[in-house]
């Protein structure tokens, strides 16, 4: 810019989202994964004695929030699967389910969205807000 040289970086965190020079979203998914584990382990540590209803409410409030997941379009399948497995496993741990219990029945019985459904709802909400912006 004019006489100042711009610094070249491989990645930058902007508004909480990691933007990489290769335009892949894997680093941001891993950032989300670390935050998700931290929030989930906090719920397990602090609220292990609470009822299932309270744990479900806490899981929904603190673990089902995926900030800017609507922007994830270019990522490796492995990164996405890690996030999905973490979501399923931490749901099991918070509610005291066995590792071998079916994730589908857990989510259905507790009225919690699966990871895929959660992302689809967030993407739909973004599109809906974008198209209603000029109305």
Q: Is the pLDDT of residue 1 over 70?
A: no
| Average pLDDT, rounded, for the chain | 86
Mean pLDDT of 109-119: 88
Backbone φ and ψ of 101, nearest 5°: -65, 145
In the chain the first and final C-alpha atoms are separated, in Å, by 38
CA angle 126, 94, 66 (to 5 degrees): 15
Q: Is the pLDDT of residue 2 over 80?
A: no
| CB-CB contact of 120 with 128 (8 Å) | no
Q: What is the pLDDT of residue 42?
A: 92
pLDDT of 85-108, one tens digit each? 999 999 899 988 888 888 888 888
Percent of the chain scoring above 70 in pLDDT: 98
Domains of the chain by residue range: 11-131
Q: Is the pLDDT of residue 11 over 70?
A: yes
Q: What is the pTM of this model?
A: 0.79
Q: What is the pLDDT of residue 85?
A: 92
Assigned token pair, 5: 């040289």
């Amino acid at each position: 810019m004019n006489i100042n040289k711009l610094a070249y970086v491989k990645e930058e965190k902007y508004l909480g989202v990691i933007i990489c020079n290769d335009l892949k979203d894997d680093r941001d998914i891993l950032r989300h994964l670390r935050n998700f584990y931290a929030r989930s382990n906090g719920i397990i540590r602090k609220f292990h004695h609470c009822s299932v209803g309270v744990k479900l409410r806490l899981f929904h409030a603190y673990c089902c929030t995926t900030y800017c997941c609507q922007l994830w379009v270019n990522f490796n399948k492995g990164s996405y699967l890690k996030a999905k497995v973490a979501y399923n496993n931490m749901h099991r741990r918070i509610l005291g389910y066995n590792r071998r219990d079916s994730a589908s029945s857990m989510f259905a019985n507790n009225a919690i969205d699966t990871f895929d459904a959660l992302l689809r709802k967030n993407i739909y909400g973004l599109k809906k807000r974008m198209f209603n912006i000029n109305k």
